[in-house]
Structure 1
Amino acid sequence: MSLISAAQRDALANWLAHERGVKNASDNTIEAYSNDLAGFLSFLAAHHGGAEGLGPLLRIAPSDMRSWMANERARGTGARSLARRLSAVKTFFRWLAEREGFDPTTVLSTRAPRTQRPLPRPLTEDAAKAVIDTVGTLPREGWVGTRDVAIVTLLYGCGLRISEALGLTGADAPLPDALRIVGKGGKERIVPVIPAARQAVADYVKECPYDLGPQEPLFRGARGGGVNPRVISKAMETTRMQLGLPSSATPHALRHSFATHLLNAGGDLRAIQELLGHAALSTTQVYTGVDNARLLDVYSAAHPRAKRG
């Protein structure tokens, strides 16, 4: 950050403190923001011939943004990574504009490069059931297999993210009829727990050799600590190889499968959005492979203005 002026370093530090304190951004997000903005500010300093105060930021021109993006692409930055960095820059400038009283339109109107969003690939119902049946039979200690069955049953039966399942504590056992889950961005949702998931977790709790205190992780590793997500990914990898499933059969694919199978069974798209904890209905649309016509039907049925017709 040697090229960045003291005023810009202070602004960056204050913004990161704001994101951490007010927006409750995670450590990983703060680190990514810091790296993205440091790179952007260093480029601007070099682009303008040396470190200056906040002036270049307040007077930033479209040509500055084009030059930065072209430089990023020339350095080998992919479209998706560049879009993420641009998003961080926009968030910073929106905050800075409120403090300094300038118009951030130049930055905010900069278009991100187009990225082709990969479509999710859910498992078939038979394949999802086979995964649950098989993952517990892998060669390792019996209680570990029971643990993995409980985890993948939560992913498929309740649509949890792997981090959400592994974030459960001993206080959550025995599982209630519904779990209060805190997902991405601190967004809370209520998730019904199917009997199969309650039973799978009860079987694991009965066999687990460790004391599952209310503040301790519910799911334990072989040495007693919390389970690393990679352990479940590895179990899924072995399972899919045994079953002849594609490499897309990951723990997250079970969450995709939960949503898709629920929708195919007649579930309401809005309700599925709530169960998954998606902020936008369009995310659920992509998640479940819903076409635009069906999305429009849901929108028309749910939007107050559309209802008034």
Structure 2
Amino acid sequence: MMAAGTPSDLIAQWRAHLTDARRRSPHTVRAYVAAAQRLAYARNASAWNDIANVEAHDLRTHLAQRRAEGIANTSAARELSALKAFIAFARAQSGDPDPAAPRLRGPRIKKGLPRPVTPDDAVNIADLIDGTASEDWVGARDRAVLLLMYGSGLRIAEALAIRSSDEPLSNTLLVNGKGGKQRIVPILPITRDAVAEYAQSCPWPLAPDDALFRGIKGGPLSPGMVQKAMAKARHALGLPDTATPHALRHSFATHLLGAGADLRSLQELLGHASLGSTQIYTKVDAASLLESYRKAHPRANKG
């Protein structure tokens, strides 16, 4: 693959690689492309060698400038990961026999626990959104999306990627997750009914290959609209800012673990590549158990 002479040309090739060859999610593509653009334009790169020659000290300087702009440790760590991938790709395009990225450790990040919502709150949020939407079909749509996330543990992008041909839903659904990895998730009756209600009320034609969930103008529903509806319901119910759409997926995992699900099964249901990603929910469940103990046990807060 040859560079065409401008940073924009390099970025276009990088985007195509992420989308077509690596099959990264749209969210990942946006983040990785944005990070690559900042580096490519800062160095006025006109060929892959201009990126391939970036070393650890160059990256350190670049990230220091980003930190001076006010980005947090988590954002800096994500940017470093994206830039390492970009540099490794550039070295491969330049014919480097060992295209490994520069070795540079990212900032330390304190790993926080996911904050689940209660089962009642999850249903209350979905019902409130349904009852306060500007149009009935919009309320039915948002309720169906949120119940998919809570009832089946879907990521928001996975829920919005469901095709019209998947409706009517059965007891299970084949989901395309991160990196094109497929998994089968259960569909609760309440979720199946909610999706059917939305499909019947949607004013737009639902061709089999089109996205099932539509925006107000008929295009594919964007994650931002779901997040906006969730924020409105969260405020109305007096829930904390941590009650986001993604928190419903955390709640799915935490409640299943609390009911006795084993970690391996939970890993498959969530589509985690490694068990380590799933093990964080053992800490969440332990934290919930300890809080319940402190509230219920007569001597929990006594010496």
**TM category, shorter:** 0.7 to 0.9
Aligned CA RMSD, in angstroms, stands at 3.5
Match of 1:249 in 2: 243
Deviations 1:182-210 (A, max 9, x none): 12222211111122211222233333344
1:276 Cα deviation after fit: 1.3
Match of 1:204 in 2: 198
Q: 2:126 aligns with which of 126, 132, 137?
A: 132
Q: 2:109 aligns with which of 96, 112, 115?
A: 115
Q: 1:154 aligns with which of 127, 135, 148?
A: 148
Which segments of 5 or more consecutive residues in structure 1 lack a partner in the other structure? 46-50, 293-309
Equivalent residues in 2 for 1:96-107 (5 A)? Answer: 96-98=90-92, 99-101=94-96, 107=101
Contact preservation (8 Å) 2:257, 2:282 = yes
Q: Percent identity?
A: 45
Q: 1:57 to 1:265 in 2, by over 3 A?
A: same
1:285 Cα deviation after fit: 2.4
Deviations 1:31-65 (A, max 9, x none): 544443343356568xxxxx898778666655444
Question: Which amino acid counterpart does residue 67 of structure 1 have in structure 2?
Answer: T
1:167 Cα deviation after fit: 2.1
1:171 Cα deviation after fit: 0.9
Match of 1:181, SS?
strand
Q: 1:132 to 1:280 in 2, by over 3 A?
A: same
> Is 2:83 the partner of 1:83?
no
Q: 1:11 to 1:171 in 2, by over 3 A?
A: closer
Question: Which amino acid counterpart does residue 36 of structure 1 have in structure 2?
Answer: A
Contact preservation (8 Å) 2:258, 2:285 = no
Match of 1:179, SS?
strand
Query: What's the TM-score once normalised by structure 1's chain length?
Result: 0.75
Distance 1:232 1:54 in 2: 39
Which segments of 5 or more consecutive residues in structure 2 lack a partner in the other structure? 287-303
1:71 Cα deviation after fit: 3.5
1:152 Cα deviation after fit: 1.8
> Is 2:56 the partner of 1:67?
no
Match of 1:298 in 2: none
Distance 1:18 1:139 in 2: 40
Between Structure 1 and Structure 2, whose CA radius of gyration is higher?
1
Question: Which amino acid counterpart does residue 195 of structure 2 have in structure 1?
Answer: V
Match of 1:24 in 2: 23
Match of 2:35 in 1: 36
Equivalent residues in 2 for 1:230-245 (5 A)? Answer: 230-245=224-239
Equivalent residue pairs, number: 283
Question: Which amino acid counterpart does residue 227 of structure 2 have in structure 1?
Answer: S
Contact preservation (8 Å) 1:90, 1:108 = yes
